[in-house]
Copies of this chain bind each other. A is one copy, B any other.
Amino acid sequence: MPNLDKFDIGILEALQEDARATNVEIAERVNLSPSPCLRRIRNLEKSGVIRGYRVDIDRKEVGLGLTVFVEIKVGQHSRENAEAQHTALLALPEITACFMISGTADFLAEVVVEDLSAYERFLTEKLLMLPGVADIRSNFAIRAVKTGAPLKLPQR
């Protein structure tokens, strides 16, 4: 909703490549002096366009070798108080992303765990214990083609 001009878009593109770039570097890249550049960044943060800054960790390197995409179906009456479902799924730290989707399933969740046995524990001790979960289908990631790629920002 906020009107983003070419400077804002440029700043966001720079931060998508390297969110720890210094303000001076970003200012040079978008052809602005440091002062207004920093002011714009702070405005983007305050207005909610920028939600935060994250480190991109190599999952394999930290021992998280298994990514699974889980299609979750919920029972008919659980679909009515969807808020409780959201809260429950939000609280599971193994789920790194989760969307309510159209199609055959109700939710699609990305689950990141150490290995198959950790995934088994997650399923039996956590996901299947949630009330209202009627059916799940697991799609195992064999290989990551790309993850967390920069958004293709609409130009102004």
Listed in ascending order, the chain A residues whose CB lies under 8 Å from chain B are 1-2, 4, 12, 15-20, 47-59, 61-64, 67, 69, 86, 89-90, 93-103, 105, 107-109, 112-114, 137-154
Contacts of A108 in B (CB 8 A): 69, 139, 141
Contact of A149 among B47, B95, B137 (CB under 8 A): B95
How many Å from the CB of A6 to the closest CB on chain B?
A: 13
A53's nearest neighbour on chain B, judged by CB, is B19
Return A40 CB to nearest CB of chain B, in Å.
13
Known: A53-B54, A69-B99, A98-B144. 5 other contacts (CB 8 A): A54-B54, A64-B154, A89-B146, A99-B141, A148-B148
Q: Are B145 and A4 in contact (CB under 8 A)?
A: no
Selected from B47, B55, B89, B153, the residue in CB contact (under 8 A) with A12 is B55
Task: Output the least CB separation between A121 and chain B (Å).
Answer: 12
Instruction: Please pick, from B4, B98, B138, the residue contacting A146 in the complex, using a CB distance under 8 A.
Output: B98
A112 touches B152 (CB 8 A): yes
The answer to whether A56 and B51 have CB atoms under 8 Å apart is yes
Q: Which 3 A-B pairs have the closest CB atoms?
A: A15-B55, A19-B53, A98-B145
Partner of A99, one of B2, B49, B56, B143: B143
Contact at B93–A62, with CB atoms within 8 Å? no
Residues from chain B with a CB closer than 8 A to the CB of A114 are 154
Give the docked Cα–Cα distance between A67 and B99 (Å): 9
